[in-house]
Amino acid sequence: MDDHKEREHSHSGHGHGHGHGHDEHDAPHSHLPSDPALRVKALETLLVDKGLVDPAALDALIETYEHKIGPRNGAKVVAKAWCDPDFKAWLLRDATAAIASLGFTGRQGEHMVAVENSAALHNMVVCTLCSCYPWSVLGIPPVWYKSEAYRSRAVIDPRGVLSEFGVTLPETAAVKVWDSTAEVRYLVIPQRPEGTDGLNEEQLAELVTRNSMIGTELLSADSGSEQP
C-alpha cells in the first residue's frame, strides 16, 4: 500500500468527503480534544475501557523510565571502560554485547556502537529524522535532543551548537557528528577528566553526565554533581 492509499484508507471510515488534498484537519487524531492533557486522558480512558491497554502496564512503563532506566546505566558503562582496558576494547569492538554484559539491553538499544572522544576527535550524536536515542543506556531523551533547533543544526553547525552548551573545542580537534538514521544507537565515551587517578569505578561513574555521553559536554573532575 503506498502512502497516498494509506491516507485515503485512514480517512475512508468517517464520511467527511473533501475535494482537496489538505485534509490533515480531518485526520482521525483531529477528533481528539485539543488540550494535550485532555487528549491523552480521553485516549487512555477509551483504550482501558476497550481492554486495549492494561493500566498497571502503563504504570510499570512509567515507573521504569522514571526510576530504573536512565543515564546512570550509561555512566556505569563509561566508568568501566575507563578502568578496564579489556572491557573498553570489547566495548569499541562490540558495544551491544559489552553493554549487555552489564545488564543493559533492549528497547532502543538493540544495536549499540561506542565511539571514543580524544583530544583530536570529538564525537556528538543526533537524529535529524526523528529523535532516535539509546533508551536502554541513557533513558528517555531530554527536550533539547528532541528539539527542532538541535535536530536541524547539529549536522550543519556542530561547533555553534557545542558553544551553546559551553563547549569550545580547539581548532585542531575534528568534530564527528553521528546521525542515527537506522536502529544503531551511538554512545559517546567521553575523555576521562584530569586529576581522577585516585577514584574508583563507582566514583568515576558519578562524574559521567548524560550530555557527555551524547557529546555536548566535556567532563571535569567536578562534573556530575547536578544530575539525578
Q: Which residues ranging from 118 to 177 are in contact with other proteins (CB under 8 A)?
A: 126, 128-131, 136, 139-140, 142-144, 146-156, 158-159, 161, 164-165, 171, 173-177
Q: Are 53 and 165 in contact (CB under 8 A)?
A: no
Write the CA distances from 33 to 12, 30, 42, integer angstroms: 21, 8, 8
DSSP 141-194: PPHHHHSHHHHHHHHH-HHHHHHHTT----TTSEEEEEE--SSEEEEEEPPPPT
Amino acid in position 119: A
Identify the residue among 180, 209, 212, 223 touching other proteins (CB under 8 A): 180
Consult the annotation and say whether 83 binds a ligand. no
Under rule CB under 8 A, residue 9 binds other proteins? yes
Phi-psi region of 103 (alpha: psi -120 to 50; beta: other; left: phi over 0): left
CB of 190 to other proteins, least distance (A): 18
Examine residue 59 and tell whether it contacts other proteins (CB under 8 A): yes
* Site mask for other proteins (CB under 8 A), range 186-225, x = bound: ----------------------------------------
Whether 130 is a known active-site residue: answer: yes
Q: Is 18 in the site for other proteins (CB under 8 A)?
A: no
For residue 211, which phi and psi values (nearest 5 degrees)?
A: -60, -35
Strand 111-116 to 121-126 pairing: unpaired
Can 131 be counted among the known catalytic residues?
yes
> Of the listed 130, 147, 152, 220, which one is catalytic?
130
Q: Is 83 a catalytic residue?
A: no
Q: Which residues are catalytic?
A: 127, 130-132
Which residues belong to the annotated binding site for Fe(3+)? Answer: 127, 130-132
